[in-house]
Amino acid sequence: MVIIGAGAAGLMCAITAAERGRRVRVLDHANKAGKKILMSGGGRCNFTNMYTEPANFLSRNPHFCKSALARYTQWDFIGLVAKHQVPYHEKKLGQLFCDNKSSDILNMLLSECDSAGVEILLETSISEIARNDGGYQLQTSAGPMHCQSLVIASGGLSIPTLGATGFGYQVARQFGHEVLPTRAGLVPFTITDQLKELCTELSGTSVDCRVSCNGQVFRENLLFTHRGLSGPAMLQISSYWQPGDTLEIDLLPDHDAGEWLAQQQRERPNSELKTLLAELFTKKLAGLLADLWFVSKPMKQYTPGELAAIATQLSCWRLTPSGTEGYRTAEVTLGGVSTDEVSSKTLESQRSPGLYFIGEVLDVTGHLGGFNFQWAWASGYAAGQYA
């Protein structure tokens, strides 16, 4: 069995198959296995999420991920982490991170590969794949290879400098699979209109918000950057955003903005609105928003109509990003190999027996928070049981 891609999904698949007694070789063109694992979670790898469920994934077929996720759950991966005594903690919202470094997770997987007898060939490129009677014939930079089962675990297009290529999509097309249009997901937004200056001035400032777009809502932090908007709230909603769409941002997610303003007017009539907002936001953010949206004056001087308009601005800030930072900084790739012609149970191609697709190359994309790795582990495990 040959697996192309020594990332999260490929390594998990290799371990599972080798433990079943399969002879497994993993090929990767990079000089190191699991580069994304090392980079992930700011160097601490958010390796799973305690609350993983199918609703945390985007796909044209939202049911596809259910089978694999049910057969290798977050608790299974947590069990593996515990077996290797990797220290970890919950950061927030069920997100589990290593206490130390992401390399703890990679080393755990490599040690499992080693015990199971998996062979990993790095710096190996594949120039040709052909189907023959007994399986697949590969032309590689390490020479020709033959395998019964071929697993494509080459990931998506995000972060080309970490080895990402469209290789898996090419193979899928070669064997008659549909590849859905791809785009960057979990990615910061760029702003180029008059708000750009505001973003630049506030660069590094973070604020709790509720953001919505196309029927999806996330309550998380927004981070202003030199280029636009980032932070978990923006990364999450980016997966649901299409060019031209408007985001609605509630900067007072814990308050009814209208009621809060009315209360301030009653209780602190002589305080300036800017000063009151600075108690909720940073002083700088309060000042810049005031300059952008209203004339700051003592609360008692606002008419009810003015307060209503301010409430709308604060609770429903409508802005249209000019774009995203793209694959250069995206955590994931949306779209990819259509799940229509892949078995949700075995991850085997229904077009070409013995060919499997796992991980991010498939049209299954998780929310931010450890879900993408959980999909890699679960789909890798499922294919590893059958390939």
- Of the pair 202, 335, the CB lying nearest ligand FDA is at 335
Cβ-contact 370, 331 below 8 angstroms: no
- Of the pair 126, 290, the CB lying nearest ligand FDA is at 126
Contacts of 360 (CB under 8 A, 6+ apart): 9, 155, 156, 332, 333, 336, 372, 375, 376
Q: Tell me phi and psi for residue 111, to 5 degrees.
A: -70, -35
Min. distance of Cβ 250 from ligand FDA in angstroms?
26
- Of the pair 163, 231, the CB lying nearest ligand FDA is at 163
Rounded Cα–Cα distance for residues 214 and 204 (Å): 27
Give me the residues that bind ligand FDA (CB under 6 A), please.
Answer: 4-10, 27-30, 35-36, 39-41, 45-46, 125-126, 153-155, 158-159, 163-165, 167, 331-332, 359-360, 370-373, 376
Rounded Cα–Cα distance for residues 168 and 148 (Å): 18
- Of the pair 36, 177, the CB lying nearest ligand FDA is at 36
Residue type, 322: S
In 124-205, beta strands by DSSP E: 126-132, 135-140, 143-147, 150-152, 179-185, 189-190
Percent of residues in the chain assigned helix, strand, coil, to nearest 5: 40, 25, 35
Min. distance of Cβ 383 from ligand FDA in angstroms?
11
- Of the pair 136, 302, the CB lying nearest ligand FDA is at 136
- Of the pair 10, 232, the CB lying nearest ligand FDA is at 10
- Of the pair 36, 210, the CB lying nearest ligand FDA is at 36
Crossing angle of helices 304-315 and 257-267, rounded to 10°: 130
Min. distance of Cβ 27 from ligand FDA in angstroms?
6
Q: Of 152, 63, 71, nearest to 354 (Cα)?
A: 152
Beta bridge partners of 190: 228, 323
Cβ-contact 13, 3 below 8 angstroms: yes
- Of the pair 260, 373, the CB lying nearest ligand FDA is at 373
Min. distance of Cβ 140 from ligand FDA in angstroms?
9
Rounded Cα–Cα distance for residues 349 and 343 (Å): 6
Min. distance of Cβ 123 from ligand FDA in angstroms?
9
- Tokens 């059958």 locate to 386
Min. distance of Cβ 336 from ligand FDA in angstroms?
10
Min. distance of Cβ 364 from ligand FDA in angstroms?
10
Q: Which residue is nearest to ligand FDA (CB)?
A: 7
Min. distance of Cβ 247 from ligand FDA in angstroms?
22
